[in-house]
Amino acid sequence: MKKLFALVLIVTVFACEQKKQDKHENQEKPIEITETPFSLKDKKISIYTTAHNNDLKLSLNTETIIFEDFKQPLETDVAINVDASKHYQTFLGIGAALTDASAETFYKLPKDKQDQFMEAYFNVEKGIGYSLGRTHIHSCDFSSGSYTYIEEGDAELKTFSIEHDKTFRIPFTKKAIEAAGGKLTMYASPWSPPAFMKTNNNMLQGGKLKTGFYQPWANYYSKFIKAYEKEGIPIWGLTIQNEPMAVQRWESCIYSAEDERDFLKNNLGPTLEKDGLGDKKIIVWDHNRDLLFQRADVILNDPEATKYVWGTGFHWYEDWKDGTPMFDAVKRVHEAFPDKNLIFTEGCNEKYDLARIVNEDPKLAERYGKSMINDFNNGTVAWTDWNILLDETGGPNHVGNFCFSPVHGNTQTGELTFTNSYYYIGHFSKFIRPEAKRVSSASSSNNLLTTAFQNQDGSLVIIVMNVSNEPVGYSLNMELKKAQLNILPHAIQSIVLK
């Protein structure tokens, strides 16, 4: 009898372990084989190109592209290979932060330039079709000064008011929503709690949220969401803290992974649910790729915290260490937590220098292209640029942290400057639409980067970016067919099959 019991126990344990293993294997391979695979038959090819030091800016190629029978490429050939039957993550959107600085710059421009700006960013046909937006909870560095929504010391939030934002940021955001066709997926991020809630009694220069103010600060998020929604700005989600490991000379606040986990599960998550805001998507981390896995590992492995988490957000500034982006960190989090989402929440080119725009420094735009291609290929569902608009100085910024934006508005002349970064982002946002699925694509050359998505309307979008100083001829291979294409030096292409 004892032997029989032992045998049953061994079999049961083995079955449980096998189930765990099977579940793990399923998580490791989030691939869907489509029931109706994409077919090249009757598809029209359109190729759009942007190139540095060239007039091509999201320009349509009028050449006829012909697919011929596939022939095995040689090792010396350059090829982009696509399998549109393999589907991965669902695309949420691409957009930018609608900051105080952006709004203030916008309202200093003439009316015709304001209209041009809105159309250029949010119209799908005439612009690049942004579908995602980020805003900030009271001030950040890209504000003209520090401010909160309450009087200092008001822990009960009796004086809470977003009146400050009604001058520029709220009307600016509402115009963006209107320009996007009435819908813009908006999320919010705080840079710092009010000074009295922090250990350093200062909104700037780091400090931590005092434990005694965890609950009042959680209530603050709830009040912000309700106030913005009352103004006609739906809030889809929020991040817990912008850059929680950076002591900055501007608004900042430090949370260890354990701090963020505990604030989320004990205060913020329950508070949003209690206040009828449980549907809001909560994003953790919201900082650089280097510590992305560590933060996700601590929070997402906690059963009480992870139930509130929609996904993990990240920035691209980790390259300050050695100049190299840590794209693999994104992949590692996706592998470990395939049931959670990944979203790029901020990136911009720092240290504004007009000469780099005038001379079309390719590093500015290519930083966007490289990041977007790698992040999407590693499982990211959404991508957010930092300031959507800045002035001719790279501001305004109340601590002199001047940066680049894809579009700059000259508040002296009233002119708009569309940089190559705007067009590079547009190669993704204009053609890859919300609810698209990423499909398999691979390059045989380090000089050509690629990603690909299939939209809900059946169209296929293949992005190809040449980071070299030379033009490249390459074959596009799919469904045992081949088309011969060319791409200019430091250029990006959107190949649309529709």
pLDDT 10s digits, 389-424: 999 999 999 999 999 999 999 999 999 999 999 999
Q: Tens digits of per-residue pLDDT, 94-127?
A: 999 999 999 999 999 999 999 999 999 999 999 9
E strands along 175-270, which residues? 185-190, 237-239
Calpha distance 295→261 (Å, rounded): 9
Calpha distance 57→240 (Å, rounded): 37
Residue % of the chain over a pLDDT of 70: 93
Q: Tens digits of per-residue pLDDT, 281-306?
A: 999 999 999 999 999 999 999 999 99
Region 368-392: mean pLDDT is 98
Q: Please name each of the domains of the chain with its CATH number.
A: 33-89+439-497 (2.60.40.1180), 92-431 (3.20.20.80)
Element (H, E) at 170: helix 169-179
Q: How far is CA 219 from CA 132, 310, 442, in A?
A: 25, 20, 47
Q: HSE, CB side, 13 Å, CA atoms: give it for residue 255.
A: 28
Give the distance from CA 352 to its chain's centroid: 22
CB 284 within 8 A of CB 298: no
Q: Which residues contact 401 (CB under 8 A, 6 or more apart)?
A: 141, 142, 249, 250
Element (H, E) at 460: strand 460-466
First and final CA of the chain: distance in angstroms? 68
Cα–Cα nearest to 468, from 316, 375, 362, 357: 362
Quote the pLDDT of residue 238: 98
DSSP annotation of 126: T
Both tokens assigned to 56: 């091509």
Quote the pLDDT of residue 379: 98
Q: How far is CA 461 from CA 261, 271, 353, 394, in A?
A: 38, 41, 33, 33
Calpha distance 187→132 (Å, rounded): 8
E strands along 163-221, which residues? 185-190
Calpha distance 399→405 (Å, rounded): 17
- Burial of 419: CB neighbours in 10 Å, binned 0-12, 13-18, 19+: buried
For strands 45-51 and 491-497, give the pairing: antiparallel
Region 371-375: mean pLDDT is 98
How many other β-carbons are positioned within 10 Å of the β-carbon of residue 263?
A: 21
DSSP 220-233: HHHHHHHHHHHTT-
Quote the pLDDT of residue 294: 98
pLDDT for 277 beyond 50: yes
Q: What angle do CA 163, 166, 167 make, to 5 degrees?
A: 110
Average pLDDT, the chain: 93
Q: How far is CA 103 from CA 264, 360, 412, in A?
A: 31, 26, 16
Cα–Cα nearest to 151, from 194, 114, 108, 95: 194
CB 428 within 8 A of CB 373: no
Catalytic machinery residues: 243, 346
Band (pLDDT 50/70/90 cuts) for residue 326 is: very high
Region 131-141: mean pLDDT is 98
Cα–Cα nearest to 271, from 224, 204, 338: 224
DSSP annotation of 191: S
Length reported for the chain: 498
